[in-house]
Structure 1
Amino acid sequence: MAYENIRSDFSNGITTITINRPSKLNALNKATIEELHHALDDANQSKETKVIIVTGSGEKAFVAGADISEFADFNVEEGGRLAAKGQELLFDFVENLSTPVIAAVNGFALGGGLELAMACHFRLASSNAKMGLPEVSLGVIPGYGGTQRLPQLVGKGRAMEMVMTAGMIDANQALNYGLVNHVVETDELLPLAEKIASKIMRNSSVAIAEAISAVNANYKDGVDGYQTEIEAFGNCFGTEDFKEGTTAFLEKRKADFPGR
């Protein structure tokens, strides 16, 4: 599929998806959300892709927010549909992918940009990154999962302050809050993401998919995360990866996981 607003590049087991609207600071519009959905879906279904990295083009912005011009005149019903469709196509979709997704946050990650980063399985940031949810300054609230995922990551009090002040935090504060896992200089960001990806790829992709499902279950209403873990743990025993992993351990050699 040819993309207008993103790039998707594959190399050595990693698909790197780059939001590429530099003139708009990589802001998310409807077309970009749809393209991201397709690129992520393709990567997730690819047997060759073991890890996905999501980043923004240039050094100024990961994603500087949503494209406000697309919804400035929406009514109540249209606003609700916008949030529901966006969560279905992209934000909830990313969170529940079976392939690990790393957000490499370069520069501004505001509004929908921070919501996209938070939907990824974990986040790395460049030292010049700035993050925030400025929606209340526009008379609206975060609608792509921001009010739910931010408290899960940084705690209720800090999330409330960030949302209500509409302010930005820098990369080091995001690291202190636990919003990102690592902060490095801009030119080290993608190499670090790739280094972590290479560590992930040494392990069983089947087991990792089960682990993602189990961890996510803890944050879903009406779902018993412990029971999900028990079932996921049991599922692993029926895989070729389990047989290879345990055999390799007992034979004191490196496992060569078939991914089945």
Structure 2
Amino acid sequence: MSNSPSKGTSHLAYTGFSLDRSTPSLWRVTFDTPPINLIDPVMIVALHDLLAEIEQDNRVAVVVFDSADADFFLAHYDIVADQSAFNALPAARTPFHHWANLLIRLSRSRAVTISALRGRARGAGSEFVLATDIRFASRERAVLGQFEVGFAAVPGGGPSTRLPGMVGRGRAFEILLGGEDFDGGLAERYGYVNRAVPDAEFVGFVNAFAERVSRFDLLALADIKRFVNAASLPAAAALIAEMDAFAEAAARPAAPSIIGQAFEHGFQQRSDVELNLGAYVGMVARKPRTATSG
């Protein structure tokens, strides 16, 4: 679980990421969980703690999320992780719902949140990116995707409700039904990210934008977020229903069978499967099933 930061601390290591209080108004969070930045219950609890710190500090205006791993921003959820860390959080309908609750809280945070995306963000990693306010991607190094359909599941952390308003109905279907990878350039064209920036310019661009916004009036920023959120965020009930559907899918026989095959080929390891997960999902063999079968 995370340490508890004190006022005046400029750099703090949580479990799963570090926090750099660059200035009182600009914070930077760097994910660092080898081998591939998997999201697990310990990280989720730490992120809840981070959001509490943001809510309690009325000086922070902007929070930038990035990664220490050149290949992985947030790979996806660790499906074999110990769930006991969730005991530190209020009870939820299922363990998966702690993730949905975090993403709802992240989107509604008073601070402006920016994903600085270099490397892969798939599944829950993509869901985290979609829950932040602004998404910048390295044109050459960013990869996004929702691969759950290939594992006989529906994404649970909000993409089915967030993506249609961002990319349009047809493109949302393409992303969610195809389970393919989207590089930075294509993600920009679709509206999956705000902008794809050449990698050589990426850090400077993100830093300049974050620093610019962090200098503006805090109340003005909060008001803008409040009105944009009211016009654009899906209802919390819709996000919870999506997680309900994911939990049901994960409990059906098909998903564990496919996941077992994936582990045999290097799933959740630094492997060709994880580096090229979108392509792998398209080759997974499964028995045909009807829409009504359980």
Which range, TM-score by smaller chain?
Answer: 0.7 to 0.9
| 2:182 paired residue number | 169
Q: Is 1:55 aligned with 2:66? A: yes
Amino acid aligned to 1:113? G
Match of 1:106, SS?
A: strand
Q: Tell me the matched-pair count.
A: 216
- The equivalent position to 2:125 in structure 1, one of 90, 95, 113, is 113
- Structure 1 outlier segments of 4+, above 4 Å: 220-223
* 1:126–1:189 CA contact under 8 A, matched in 2: yes
Match of 2:110, SS?
A: coil
Q: TM-score, normalised by structure 2?
A: 0.68
Kindly provide the CA deviation profile for residues 4-59 of structure 1, in whole angstroms up to 9, marking residues without a partner as x: 21111111331111111131x11111111111121233134323422100112221
Match of 1:180, SS?
A: coil
Residues 178/29 of structure 1: CA separation in 2 closer, same or farther (3 Å cut) = same
Q: What's the offset of the Cα at 1:221? A: 6.5
Amino acid aligned to 1:20? D
Q: What's the offset of the Cα at 1:220? A: 5.2
Q: Is 1:178 aligned with 2:191? A: yes
C-alpha distance in structure 2 between counterparts of 1:179 and 1:109, whole Å? 12
Q: Is 1:40 aligned with 2:51? A: yes
Match of 1:107, SS?
A: strand
Kindly provide the CA deviation profile for residues 123-159 of structure 1, in whole angstroms up to 9, marking residues without a partner as x: 0011211111001111111111111111121111111
- State which drifts further: 43-52 or 208-217: 43-52
* 1:110–1:133 CA contact under 8 A, matched in 2: yes
Q: What's the offset of the Cα at 1:85? A: 1.8
Q: What's the offset of the Cα at 1:112? A: 0.5
Q: Which runs of 5+ in 1 are unaligned?
A: 72-78, 224-260
C-alpha distance in structure 2 between counterparts of 1:222 and 1:29, whole Å? 25
| 1:132 paired residue number | 145
| 1:195 paired residue number | 208
Amino acid aligned to 2:33? R
Q: What's the offset of the Cα at 1:214? A: 1.1
Q: Which runs of 5+ in 2 are unaligned?
A: 4-12, 83-91, 237-294
RMSD of equivalent CA atoms: 2.4
- The equivalent position to 1:87 in structure 2, one of 95, 100, 103, is 100
Q: Is 1:143 aligned with 2:156? A: yes
- The equivalent position to 2:169 in structure 1, one of 156, 164, 171, is 156
| 2:75 paired residue number | 64
More relative contact order, 1 or 2 (CA 8 Å, 6+ apart): 2
C-alpha distance in structure 2 between counterparts of 1:54 and 1:222, whole Å? 24
| 1:214 paired residue number | 227
* 1:124–1:183 CA contact under 8 A, matched in 2: yes
Q: What's the offset of the Cα at 1:162? A: 1.0
Q: Name the structure where helix makes up a greater proportion of residues.
A: 1
- The equivalent position to 2:134 in structure 1, one of 102, 119, 122, is 122
Q: TM-score, normalised by structure 1?
A: 0.76
